[in-house]
Structure 1
Amino acid sequence: MARNNRTVVPESRAMLKQMQYEIASEFGLYGASYGGGADTEFASEFGVTGSSMGYGSPYLGHLTSRDNGSVGGEITKRLVKQAEQSLFK
């Protein structure tokens, strides 16, 4: 069976990308900043400078599959929680 990874709502792509990097920062996965308007006030606190602030292509090869999977799992948990809250309001 073929996998279909297309985004159902293309407008959500930016929000999901932002959520991904916020969660990575919360988990302490340094260098996980993105070029889409990262908050420079706290950049040094997260260990993010220069190329990882979006001035070039950041290298994130040091992150393990487990680290990346934990970010994806947390995104799923938060989206499910938001959906449940909106259903029961």
Structure 2
Amino acid sequence: MARGNRKVVPESKEMLKRMQFEIASEFGLYGAVSTAGADTEFASELGVTGASGIMQTPYLGQLTSRENGSVGGEITKRLVAQAEQVLFK
């Protein structure tokens, strides 16, 4: 029986994606450009615009497993902290 990484709340996918890019940019990981409300002045130089000028998700294949894991770990820490705030108010 395959479990996979299905989302309990599928609507949270976009929020998690924004959080991922926000944390990656906070950590200074190259190419981690947030597409939500990003300044488009240097977007073409960073490779985040398509032919039509619409923001796209940048390619992050150059990141190491350690770098990606640190972003995932920080997401988990922040989500747990948010849940604790809600539960223990």
Q: Which TM bucket (shorter chain)?
A: 0.7 to 0.9
1:88 equivalent to 2:85? Answer: no
**Shift, 1:11, TM fit:** 0.7
Which of 53, 66, 74 does residue 48 from structure 2 map onto?
53
Aligned counterparts of 1:58 and 1:32: Cα–Cα separation in 2: 7
2:53 aligns with: none
Note if 1:40 corresponds to 2:42.
no
Cα pair 1:24 1:32 within 8 Å, conserved? yes
Deviation at 1:4, TM superposition (A): 2.4
Identity of counterpart residues, as a percentage? 65
Output the TM-score relative to the length of structure 1: 0.78
Alignment pair present for 1:6 and 2:11: no
Shift of the alpha carbon at 1:57?
5.8
Deviations 1:52-81 (A, max 9, x none): 334256332210000000000000000000
Note if contact 1:31-1:60 (Cα within 8 Å) is conserved in structure 2: yes
CA contact (8 A) 1:23 1:71 kept: yes
Q: How many residues align?
A: 83
Where do 4+ consecutive residues of structure 1 move more than 4 Å?
A: none
